[in-house]
Chain A
Amino acid sequence: MANDLVRTGGLRSTARIATHPIHPMLVGVPIVCFIGALITDIVYAVTAEMMWANFSAWLLVVGFIIGVLAAIAGLIDFLSNRRIRERTPAWFHLLGNLAVLVLAFFNILVHTRDAYTSVVPTGLILSIVTVLILPITGWLGWSMVYRYGVGVAR
């Protein structure tokens, strides 16, 4: 155990598989899905072709489900390691991505409406705001790994 702490600088991930943290394995999925949903929302708003709105609905649901799993893994790391909680970016990373998931949840509900108002305007606005938050929380996440070495074996 002590050896492990030394090797990870005390910022060991708890939710991990064979020393590989689970959280970064999952976060790519919601990021790609939510960006994809913004693109398909824009194409739907322009074309009114239902296929694009249907793509958005699937992307949002998949992104949300995997996003919740990523959040659970991240929360386990956050709550079970005091040294991670001491890093300021961790708090903003958590709160920002919580906002992303809440927005995505409401966006899923808006996308269950039928036809045009499932996207325009509320769904499209929610998709835009969601995607605007992602680079900020992503930046904070990268700080955690590349600057502080959270979950990194040394």
Chain B
Amino acid sequence: MRISQPSGKAGLIALCGAILCLTGCNDGSGDPRAQIGANPSLPPLQQYLFPPMHIARVVGWKQGEKPDAAKGLKIQALATGLQHPRSLYVLPNGDVLVVESKAPQAPSPKRPKDIVMNYIESWATSGGNTGPSNRITLLRDPSGADGAAKTQSVFLDHLSSPFGVALVGNDLYVANTDAIVRYPYNSGDTKITAPGTVLTKLPGGPIDHHWTKSLVASPDNSLLYVGVGSNSNITENGMEAEHNRADILEVDRATGRFRIFASGLRNPTGLAFEPQSGALWAVVNERDELGPDLVPDYLTSVKDGGFYGWPYSYFGQHLDPRVQPQRPDLVAKAIVPDYSLSSHVAPLGLAFSTGTSLPENYRNGAFVGEHGSWNRSVLNGYKVTFVPFSNGHPSGMAQDVVTGFLNGNNEARGRPVGLAIDKSGALLIADDVGNTVWRVTPSGEQVTQR
């Protein structure tokens, strides 16, 4: 979803809140757990006059507050005072890059709804507009007081709504919203001042509805894969705005030429290679406004040339009546995603457990950062979950790993986004509303100097 400038007009918020509650306090949604796994129950689609909406009001973390980690785990703040941290990348020497990023400028409204929705969505980040963003901060050495990083400094500044980072040899690639840019990096560097070189442009403004470009290098380092989200919920900005979007692009690192690797993925992020099978996986945000339990967001392997439904259909051959003209030829070959995460949880982070030091039950699987719902009245997501894998495929029910991003009044103290496993094997969580990077370790672990 687009996240724009917050604004503090309390009266209008109260009025809109009353309208939302009037229409959405009981949306008839079912148990989200029934929609987790390979065969989610899919209710009939609904169309609304007022779609159910509930955005957790942002309150932030008070002094000493932190999320709740599952049994056997401990959570501490690795870094605080960040500016909308959205994704994480661990360098070979153990330094952690925190990508701090804000949405590009909102386009001019195409219709009255855009004005209303931009305003409503601005509530979701009202903690995050306190200073400069669109930069990468470097964290080093998690042995400070209470597990905080000893070094926290600006690594790379003046970026354009960045999200993905990938290092290949001495080439550091940053996926801005409109281009992949390459920078020279040497092990131990704490700041990059060299100007970047554009490897390839990516679909960006002026609409740029889904703007986060997830990035990963192929295991043989010759290719980059970049996730490009759709330019709309469901083609309401016209099909011509969707050129090269809702796709995963495969970019040749040597020339910058790209091809569409897979398509029909509405907003693919968290691109990562599953360690056992070597397959590319992603988490995908599915479409809104068809009901509180439609459409489930998902975790899936991504096949070369695969088509995953958007916009014409979801979860295989379930047609979306909002798309015209339809494409039965594409719908017929739409692939059913591997693993449903349940509806509107907004997964934006994915990290396979490779190298984790967390207890045995977290050793084979995928951590998923669920940013949290707006399009249902009973909140869903707002947590980090673990999907167990065996033989390279999901093998059981997702478990909650880190919760408590919402307080008892369903107000957002934080919202998890990007994830990473650091060099010591701890799980790192970027919290773009709490402006914190959290570090999850086994609860018995002593904080040790690396």
CB of A58 closer than 8 Å to a CB of B: yes
**Is there contact, CB below 8 Å, between A114 and B232?**
yes
- B47 and A117 contact, CB distance less than 8 A: yes
A129 CB-CB contact with B under 8 Å: no
Quick check: is A82 within 8 A (CB to CB) of the other chain? no
Contacts of A116 on B, CB cut-off 8 Å? 321-324
- Would you call A6 an interface residue if the criterion is a C-beta within 8 Å of the partner chain's C-beta atoms? no
B233 part of interface (Cβ distance < 8 Å) = yes
With A113-B47, A113-B289, A114-B233 as given contacts, are A58 and B112 in contact (CB-CB < 8 Å)?
yes
Whether A115 contacts B325 by the Cβ 8 Å rule is no
* Cβ–Cβ contact B289 & A114, under 8 A: yes
B48 / chain A contacts, CB cutoff of 8 Å: 113
Query: Given contacts A113-B289, A114-B322, A117-B322, is CB(A57)–CB(B236) below 8 Å?
Result: no
Chain A residues whose C-beta falls within 8 Å of the C-beta of B111 in the assembled complex: 53-54, 57-58, 111
Q: How many contacts between A and B, using CB within 8 angstroms?
A: 54
Cβ-based interface call for B49 (8 A): yes
A33-53 at interface with B (beta carbon < 8 Å): 48-51, 53
Residue numbers in B under 8 Å from A50 (CB-CB): 110, 235-238
Does A110 sit within 8 A of B, measured CB to CB? yes
Q: Check if B324 sits within 8 Å of A115, measured CB to CB.
A: yes
Chain A, interface SS category: helix
Chain A residues whose C-beta falls within 8 Å of the C-beta of B233 in the assembled complex: 114
Cβ of A112 under 8 Å from chain B = yes
Q: Measured between alpha carbons, how far is A47 from B163 in the docked complex, in Å?
A: 37
Q: For residue A134, give the distance in angstroms from its CB to the closest CB of chain B.
A: 22
Closest B residue by C-beta to A114: B236
Using Cβ atoms and an 8 Å threshold, which residues of chain B touch A54?
110-111
**Which residues of chain A are within 8 angstroms of B321 by Cβ–Cβ distance?**
116-117
Interchain nearest-CB distance for B236 vs A (Å): 4
Distance of A111 Cα from B48 Cα, bound (Å): 10
Complex CA gap A49/B241 in Å reads 12
Cα–Cα distance between A50 and B238 once the two chains are bound (Å): 6
CB of B113 within 8 Å of the partner chain: yes
Tell me if A110 and B49 are in contact (CB < 8 A).
yes
Q: Is A139 on the interface with B (CB-CB < 8 A)?
A: no
The minimal Cβ–Cβ distance linking B266 to chain A, given in whole angstroms, is: 12
Closest to A110 in B: B49
Name B113's contact: one of A57, A106, A117 (CB within 8 Å): A57
Q: Which of B49, B50, B112, B322 contacts A115 (CB 8 A)?
A: B322
C-alpha gap A116/B325 in the complex (Å):
9
Q: Does A124 contact B (CB under 8 A)?
A: no
Contact partner, B322, options A49, A58, A112, A113, Cβ 8 Å:
A113
Q: In the complex, what residues of B have CB within 8 A of residue A115's CB? A: 232, 234-236, 322-324
Q: Mark B395-419, 1 if CB is under 8 A from A, else 0.
A: 0000000000000000000000000
Decide: A114 and B234 in contact? CB cutoff 8 A.
Answer: yes
Q: How far is the CB of B129 from chain A (nearest CB, A)?
A: 27
Q: How far is the CA of A110 from the CA of B236 in the complex (A)?
A: 14
> What 0/1 readout, one digit per residue, does chain A (82-106) give for beta carbons within 8 Å of chain B?
0000000000000000000000001
The complex places the Cα of A23 from the Cα of B72 at a distance, in Å, of 72
A109 within 8 A of B: yes
Q: Which A residues from 116 to 136 make CB contacts under 8 A with B?
A: 116-118, 120
Query: Across the interface, which residues of A come within 8 angstroms of B49, CB to CB?
Result: 106, 109-110
Residues of chain B within 8 A (CB-CB) of A53 are 111
CA A120 – CA B234 in complex, angstroms? 15
Which one of B50, B110, B232 lies within 8 Å of A109 (CB-CB)? Answer: B50
Q: Of all chain B residues, which has the CB nearest A109?
A: B49
Binding site for A on B (CB under 8 A): 47-50, 110-113, 232-238, 289, 321-325
Nearest 4 pairs between A and B by C-beta? A116-B324, A109-B49, A114-B236, A57-B111
Knowing that A109-B50, A113-B48, A120-B324 are A-B contacts, what are 8 other residue pairs whose CB atoms are under 8 Å apart, sorted by A's residue number? A50-B237, A54-B111, A57-B113, A61-B112, A112-B113, A114-B232, A114-B233, A115-B232
Binding site for B on A (CB under 8 A): 48-51, 53-54, 57-58, 61, 106, 108-118, 120
Q: Can you list 9 residue pairs at the A/B interface with Cβ under 8 Å?
A: A50-B237, A54-B111, A110-B49, A112-B112, A113-B48, A115-B236, A116-B322, A116-B324, A120-B324
